[in-house]
Structure 1
Amino acid sequence: MNKRYWWILITYVLAQLSIIPGQFLLHWLGVDTDQILGMWSIISFTLGLLVILLLLRKDMNERHLVRDRSSRGEAFRWIIIGVFMVFAAQYAAALIEMYVFGIEPGSENTAQIVEYAKAFPAFLIVVSIIGPILEEIVFRLVIFGSLYKRFNFWIAGILSSLIFAAVHMDFTHLLIYTAMGFAFAYLYVRTKRIIVPIIAHVSINLFVSLVQVIFADRIAEWLEQLEEIQQQTSLIIGGLL
């Protein structure tokens, strides 16, 4: 691993750990306690992303030298395929967790993120855009890419995906995060364009954010209305019979 990649890893770790001094600073400045984590995440991850992009200038300038790189049209197709692929991997892993290991669906990590987003809606920028970009650069471009130079795809994919899963600190659903990471790694290898797993990852997180935060109350109302309609229909059918 070259020196620039080590600096990228250090920058990512510092962005993660900066919440410790950051929360004291924002608390001292009088920021509402419920908003501290969301606000500082925007500050730290935005600065971290800017530093990392500066460190990647050489890679971006030399990206056209990569052999067997997918065309833009093919990359676009794999972004669409990739979104469904990751959802399928996530669903398959969830079924294995449920029926093989007896793990109930639902993630505490996701629930906490939703709470932070409700307290500070701008936090969704980190969850939906900045976070996925950072994770794909760190876990696919840097970690997976470095492992892939020494090992085959399966070993590099599994090891980097396990690290990706562990960083989310949701060990109950380690299999789900690992499956997602492996799918993202495949997209990167298949197209040799890091932008493909980045956009797929952003799309998935954005969809989840819209469903669980932005339109959560409206969806709940629709489900209640649908349940009422079903009950009324059952009563009418029952009366006719």
Structure 2
Amino acid sequence: MKKEYGFILITYIVMQLSSFIGVPLMSMIGARFGLEEGFSVSAWLVLSFIAALIITLFLLRKEMNGSVRNNGALPLSKSAAWAVGGIFLALMAQSIAGSIEYLMGIEIGSENTQQIINLIKTAPIIIIISSIIGPILEEVVFRKVIFGSLYKRFNFFLAGLISSLIFAFAHGEPEHLLLYSAMGFTFAYLYVKTKRILVPIFAHVSMNTIVVVLQLNQDKIQQFQQLQSFIGGYFN
């Protein structure tokens, strides 16, 4: 593994653990200036994720400046098609895995997702973290660094399995191991297929954004479904 990749992993781990110090610190600052209780969590999430992204991009600056022509990457047009198609692949993988979990008796719904939605409702700026910065960091860490390093030594299935399991456990919901692993495999496949990390990043960002938008408009969707059912019943 490249030393830059090692520093990226350290940065990501430190960012995840930093809330134990950062949130209380922000709470003290918020209390001093009379800010709302939710300010501390939201402010630290934004600051820590942005800082981690800046450090990660700095560590990858040489690779970003280098050419991708000689690494077998697909042309931009085909990569763009895979990026768009990857959204549907990820949503389909999530749907299939969710259905299997339901048949196994696992409750539908993610506590992690609900916590993020609650944070967004109190501090809308969090949507930047959940829909953009978070997915970018996850794809760099779990696909480019962890999966990419493993793929150099093992076949796709084994590298995908190990990195996807790490990806799943990192979300702190072991009951949804299958769900997160399915998405991890999908993003790993997109990365291998195109050899462009921007492709799974685009798919991941888009999928997260779709999920957040649907969750935030759940009441409106239910009202529309009820209205549609009423109109359908009226004309039958």
Indicate whether the TM-score tops 0.5.
Answer: yes
Pairing partner for 2:95 from 88, 91, 98: 91
Name the structure 1 match of 2:53: 49
Distance (whole Å) between structure 1 residues aligned to residue 6 and residue 214 of structure 2: 36
Per the TM alignment, residue 18 of structure 1 is displaced from its structure 2 partner at its CA by 1.2
8 Å Cα contact 2:160/2:185 also seen in 1 = yes
Per the TM alignment, residue 227 of structure 1 is displaced from its structure 2 partner at its CA by 3.9
8 Å Cα contact 2:83/2:203 also seen in 1 = yes
Q: Which moved more, 1:25-34 or 1:156-165?
A: 25-34
SS at match of 1:32: coil
TM-score between both structures, scaled by the size of structure 1 = 0.91
- 1:92-111 matches, cutoff 5 A: 92-99=96-103, 101-111=104-114
Name the structure 1 match of 2:214: 211
1:201-233: CA deviations, max 9, x gaps?
Answer: 0000111111112x33432332333344345x2
| Aligned-partner residue type, residue 225 of structure 2 | L
8 Å Cα contact 2:19/2:44 also seen in 1 = yes
Q: Which moved more, 1:32-41 or 1:215-224?
A: 215-224
Distance (whole Å) between structure 2 residues aligned to residue 7 and residue 65 of structure 1: 26
Name the structure 1 match of 2:146: 143
Taking only aligned residues, the RMSD between alpha carbons, in angstroms, comes to 1.5
1:60-81: CA deviations, max 9, x gaps?
Answer: 1224254221000000010111
Which 5+ residue runs of structure 1 have no aligned equivalent? none
Q: Which moved more, 1:73-82 or 1:33-42?
A: 33-42
Distance (whole Å) between structure 2 residues aligned to residue 111 and residue 92 of structure 1: 20
CA radius of gyration, larger in: 1
- 1:52-131 matches, cutoff 5 A: 52-99=56-103, 101-131=104-134
- 1:172-191 matches, cutoff 5 A: 172-191=175-194
**Paired residues, number:** 232
Name the structure 2 match of 1:229: 231
TM-score between both structures, scaled by the size of structure 2 = 0.93
Which segments of structure 1 move beyond 4 Å, counting only runs of 4 or more? none
